[in-house]
Amino acid sequence: MSFLITSIAMFSFWILLSGEFTFILITSGIVSSLIVAYLSHDIFIGKPDLKTETGRIFKFIRYLPWLLWEIVLANFEIAYLVLSPKLKVDPQIVRFKPDIKTDLGIVTLAHSITLTPGTVTVEANKEEFVIHAIWQKSAEGIINGKMQRKVKWIEEGTNELEGEKNV
Amino acid sequence: MDIRTIIAGVFLGIGGFFIIVTAIGIVRFPDFYSRLHPAGKADTIGQALVLIALMIYEGFSLISVKLMIIVIFIFIASPTATHAVAQAAYLKGVVPWKKKKKDKK
Amino acid sequence: MFEITAVAVTIAIMITLYRAIKGPTVYDRVLAGNAIGTKTVILLVLLGFVHDRPHFLDLAVVYPLINFVATIAFLKYVEMGRLD
């Protein structure tokens, strides 16, 4: 089952990149996507639980525009810091314990923290997050926990019963 | 000069500005961890803006789809590489710099 | 319009090269190498548009992957002393 999904995804990617429909291209596309899918279908799709995963993907797509707006709006802050004549850089390190249970949630949170200007994730696992902030305003933005609440909203669609069955 | 070229030119200008700001930031900041900030973030945004300008200039075609694939991949890979460098330096004991307070003896 | 942006990106690459030569720790140099690699992608796409050759885009799709894998491999070598 995962073999089939992987080979279809690879073949559609091949068609998307090439754009022509001659016989030899389609045949080599099918052969290549079958070989790649045979070698890697375990890694590409794990052990999915189809209802929760599609629900999570939709919530993730709804989360993206807020993230993009934050990134664009706050990148001017880095431009201000680089171009100001006196050095206003004042680095701090913040540690906290995340409240998120799934791997996708931790990856999303670490990625969002690295992409919003002012903070870079230094260490990210389930026990502890270490974050380097570049001035005091960004450190406060992390401590008040707004981003963590939004990411927790994405993954909270799963019931606790289903989560424990999959372990 | 139609409107599409003008909008593409504006986005190209802003993207080029961010790329030059990134380069200046990498040279100017005082410490390794603070140099991570421009390289990981403003670089990604500058590139995304330049590629979006090219997508607007080109319209709907196969070239825009390939540019979108490049943008998605850069958004995923560039912060991950920055985080990997930061974690490697943290584990090996590179110490972050603190700003000295103004009491010189 | 495209030529001006290409010149700006080339100037940015030269400024980053200064940090790659000077940086006191090895991680500074890895960071500068990664940044130069991602700026090369922009230069490839812009030059493909200037000279009207759409095949440069295929190269620009592959090069970020190569750059990313090279950065991770180099970090692993610096940390462990060997690559396997």
Q: What is the 3-state secondary structure (H, E, C) of A139-152?
A: HHHHHCCHHHHHHH
Determine the average pLDDT of the residues in A21-46. 85
pLDDT of residue A46: 65
Reported as a single tens digit per residue, the pLDDT across A45-95 is 666 666 666 677 777 777 777 777 778 777 888 888 888 887 777 777 888
Q: A145's torsion region: left (phi>0), alpha (psi -120 to 50) or beta? A: left
| A118 vs A3 pLDDT, higher one | A3
Question: Residue A120 carries which DSSP code?
Answer: E
Confidence of residue C54 (pLDDT cuts 50, 70, 90): confident
> In what helix (H) or strand (E) does residue B74 lie, and over which residues does it extend?
helix B62-91
Asked if residue B66 belongs to a domain, the reply is yes
Is C36 in contact with C20 (CB distance < 8 Å)?
A: yes
A65/A110 Cα distance (integer angstroms): 17
pLDDT of residue C14: 93
Is A148 in contact with A109 (CB distance < 8 Å)?
A: yes
Query: Of the candidates A145, A139, A59, A144, which has an alpha carbon nearest to the alpha carbon of residue A102?
Result: A59
Any alpha helices (H) in A84-133, and if so which ranges?
103-115
Q: How many domains does chain B have?
A: 1
Is B55 in contact with B72 (CB distance < 8 Å)?
A: no
A interface with B, Cβ–Cβ below 8 Å: 16-17, 19, 71-72, 75, 78-79, 81-83, 87, 89-91, 93, 110-111, 114-118, 120-124, 130, 132, 134
Determine the average pLDDT of the residues in C29-43. 92
Is C12 in contact with C39 (CB distance < 8 Å)?
A: yes
Task: Determine the distance in angstroms separating the CA of B59 from the nearest CA of chain A, rounded to an integer.
Answer: 16
pLDDT of residue A49: 63
Number of H-type helices and E-type strands within chain C: 3, 0
3-state SS assignment for residue A94:
strand
Residue A39 has pLDDT above 80, yes or no: yes
Confidence of residue B58 (pLDDT cuts 50, 70, 90): confident
pLDDT of residue A161: 36
pTM: 0.82
Query: Of the candidates A7, A52, A42, A80, which has an alpha carbon nearest to the alpha carbon of residue B42?
Result: A80
pLDDT of residue A162: 35
Residue B103 has pLDDT above 70, yes or no: no
Determine the average pLDDT of the residues in C23-37. 89
Asked if residue B105 belongs to a domain, the reply is no
Asked if residue B97 belongs to a domain, the reply is no
Residue A163 has pLDDT above 50, yes or no: no
pLDDT of residue C10: 93
Asked if residue B37 belongs to a domain, the reply is yes
Q: A97's torsion region: left (phi>0), alpha (psi -120 to 50) or beta? A: beta
Q: How many residues does chain B have?
A: 105
Instruction: Give this complex's ipTM.
Output: 0.84
pLDDT of residue A52: 66
Determine the average pLDDT of the residues in C35-61. 90
A144 φ/ψ angles, rounded to the nearest 5 degrees: -80, -5
Q: Which residues of C touch B39 (CB under 8 A)?
A: 31-32, 34-35
Which residues 26-85 of B have a C-beta within 8 angstroms of A?
28-31, 33-34, 36-38, 40-42, 44-45, 62, 65-66, 69, 75-76, 79-80, 82-83
Confidence of residue B104 (pLDDT cuts 50, 70, 90): very low
C3/B1 Cα distance (integer angstroms): 17
Q: Which residues of B touch A107 (CB under 8 A)?
A: none
A139/A131 Cα distance (integer angstroms): 9
> In what helix (H) or strand (E) does residue A122 lie, and over which residues does it extend?
strand A119-124
| B13 vs A136 pLDDT, higher one | B13
Determine the average pLDDT of the residues in B46-59. 89
Chain centre to alpha carbon of residue A136: 26
Pairing label, strands A129-133, A119-124: antiparallel
pLDDT of residue B40: 85
pLDDT of residue C70: 93
Reported as a single tens digit per residue, the pLDDT across A86-125 is 777 777 788 877 777 777 778 878 888 887 777 888 888 8
- Residue range(s) defining the domain that contains residue B32: 3-91
A90/A135 Cα distance (integer angstroms): 5
pLDDT of residue A107: 83
* C29 shares contact with chain B (CB less than 8 Å): no
Asked whether the CA dihedral B72, A30, C68, A60 is positive or negative, the reply is positive
pLDDT of residue C11: 93
